[in-house]
Amino acid sequence: MSLHVIILAAGQGSRMKSALPKVIHTLAGKPMLQHVLDTAKTLGADGIHVVVGHGADQVKDLVTDDVNWCYQAEQLGTGHAVAQAIDEIPKNAKVLILYGDVPLTAASTLQALIDGVTEEQLSLLTVYLENPTGYGRIIRDESEDIIAIVEEKDTNKYERLVNEVNTGILALNSDLLHRYLPTLGNSNSQSEYYLTDLIEIAVTNGCRVEAHQPQNEQEVQGVNNRLQLCELECWYQSKVSEELMLAGVTLFDPNRIDVRGSLVCGQDVVIDLNCIFEGNVQLGEGVSIGPNCLIKNSSIAAHSTIFANSIIEDSTLDENTIVGPFARFRPGTKLLAGAKVGNFVETKNTTVGLGSKVNHLSYVGDAILGENVNIGAGTITCNYDGVNKYKTEIGDGVFVGSNTSLVAPVKIGENATIGAGSTINREIEADQLAIARSKQRNIDGWIKPVKK
């Protein structure tokens, strides 16, 4: 039986106080809707149908997945939203209904829900809350079978005491959805078509409702305002920190690390305070990350050290490399084993060879450095003419003196030496010494200007 997922993402989210649609606000660096889509894909869905309304174009622009977009022009309730996708759902399929502002439901929780669906049985995700205020209540009969869901605004004083509540997430056979969805009414305090009414209709017609619960209530926590988004972010980050520490990572403070993507660590990795990891990051065995570092879509091999306040983006570092403090690696940087790039150095689209050093105050862009190269302080590669980028090639064993400008395109041969303060715009052959600076003049009797 095929699986189709309907994700409701049409609401404006007025309590977010934002020009952005609610579902594209980010959690752990990713839009909430994208979290839901990623989970749906892990379930092997044959079709994913996203119902959009407010800010539909903004939502679509942020999603690259192959989904079927359904438009809800007026927000007339969850039942009305599902109705916008019903024509896309084939007969005799399992249907899972999710919400774009409930981002952290575990795939295992949803799979259990899906597995409970039969031709005459619905699966409903419920949760027990100490404070159920704001949620629809699960109503059971004397046999503890679910017979209805009552929205809080429509509850009586007894129903309001129930602490088992509806999460809105359910799974059912598409034949039941096709059969009962058109029968929903809007005779309630909001004059909306509630999907929750489907439960009572199905039970009345002989169907059974099987309840499932998540492992954590945060799995089903929706986001209505920025405070709730922050609470969910903190919970998510705490779970990531816990998993990292249990896997052998030392975190100086688990409350001061943000993982906005995937972080894979080898044994004995040490991460200091206030570090941010974005995209896909791999840290090898024994890697040490100093405080206040940002690492994005990069791989750092074993026993490398990143000192404080360094930024590494779309880069690859081999084993035993040393970076920082205050270094910035822009995309395309590659450090080979034993290379060192020190404080206040910026690199871009550059390979630094085995054992080579760029220790301080330099910019090296669009360059290839061989083995055991030494780049003196204040050196820059002049790689851009305002339109085009050019390559600088530096051979093995080259020594570049401080405050040197290398005007690309230019090649420096093996074991060449460049005197400090030089501007190099022509090729230097192997083993040559190059000095390119104006002749010094010392003038006797010079009278300094004096302020009047």
The string of DSSP codes covering 268-330 is T-EE-TTEEEEEEEEE-TT-EE-TT-EEES-EE-TT-EE-TT-EEES-EE-TT-EE-SS-EE-
Q: Residue 28: its pLDDT value, please?
A: 96
Strand partners, 140: 146
Indicate the pLDDT class of residue 299, thresholds 50, 70 and 90: very high
Q: Mark residue 111 as left, alpha or beta (left: phi above 0; alpha: psi -120 to 50; beta: remaining).
A: alpha
Indicate the pLDDT class of residue 352, thresholds 50, 70 and 90: very high
Distance of CA 432 to the CA centre of its chain: 50
pLDDT tens, 422-433?
Answer: 999 999 999 999
Is residue 406 within 8 A of residue 392, CB to CB? The reply is yes
Q: Residue 153: its pLDDT value, please?
A: 87
| Predicted TM-score of the model (pTM) | 0.91
pLDDT tens, 30-80?
Answer: 999 999 999 999 999 999 999 999 999 999 998 888 899 999 998 899 999
Mean pLDDT of the 281-306 span: 98
Largest Cα span, the chain: 110
Identify the weakest region by mean pLDDT among 27-36, 98-107, 132-141: 132-141
Helix (H) or strand (E) holding 360: strand 357-360
Q: Is cis: bond before 132, omega within 30 of 0?
A: no
Strand partners, 4: 47, 95
Indicate the pLDDT class of residue 26, thresholds 50, 70 and 90: very high
**H-type alpha helices, 49-150:** 56-62, 78-83, 107-115
Q: Residue 359: its pLDDT value, please?
A: 96
- Half-sphere exposure (CA, 13 Å, Cβ side) for 201? 16
Residue 179 CB neighbours (<10 A): 14
Indicate the pLDDT class of residue 236, thresholds 50, 70 and 90: very high
Mean pLDDT of the 394-412 span: 98
Task: Pull the structure tokens for residue 103.
Answer: 């981002």
Per cent of the chain over pLDDT 90 is 90
Strand partners, 294: 276, 311
Instruction: Please state, in angstroms and rounded to a whole number, the distance separating the CA atoms of residues 166 and 353.
Output: 59
Catalytic residue among 25, 35, 212, 360: 360
Residue 219 has pLDDT above 80, yes or no: yes
Instruction: Please state, in angstroms and rounded to a whole number, the distance separating the CA atoms of residues 109 and 129.
Output: 17
pLDDT tens, 81-94?
Answer: 999 999 999 999 99
pLDDT tens, 148-196?
Answer: 999 888 899 999 999 999 999 999 999 999 999 999 998 877 888 989 8
Strand partners, 118: 121
Let me know if 360 is a catalytic residue. yes
Torsion sign (Cα): 425, 431, 432, 435 = positive
* Terminal C-alpha separation, the chain: 93
Q: What is the mean pLDDT of the chain?
A: 95
**Rounded to 5°, angle at Cα 17 from 16 and 19:** 100
Length of the chain: 452
Q: Residue 360: its pLDDT value, please?
A: 96
Taken in order of first residue, the domains within the chain and their CATH numbers are 3-220 (3.90.550.10), 226-434 (2.160.10.10)
pLDDT tens, 308-350?
Answer: 999 999 999 999 999 999 999 999 999 999 999 999 999 999 9
3-state secondary structure of 409: coil
Q: Residue 124: its pLDDT value, please?
A: 96
Instruction: Please state, in angstroms and rounded to a whole number, the distance separating the CA atoms of residues 171 and 116.
Output: 8
Instruction: Please state, in angstroms and rounded to a whole number, the distance separating the CA atoms of residues 439 and 441.
Output: 7
**Beta 299-300 vs 316-317: how paired, if at all?**
parallel
pLDDT tens, 262-287?
Answer: 999 999 999 999 999 999 999 999 99
Task: Pull the structure tokens for residue 322.
Answer: 């040393």
CA distances from 29 to 45, 197, 317 (A): 24, 35, 24
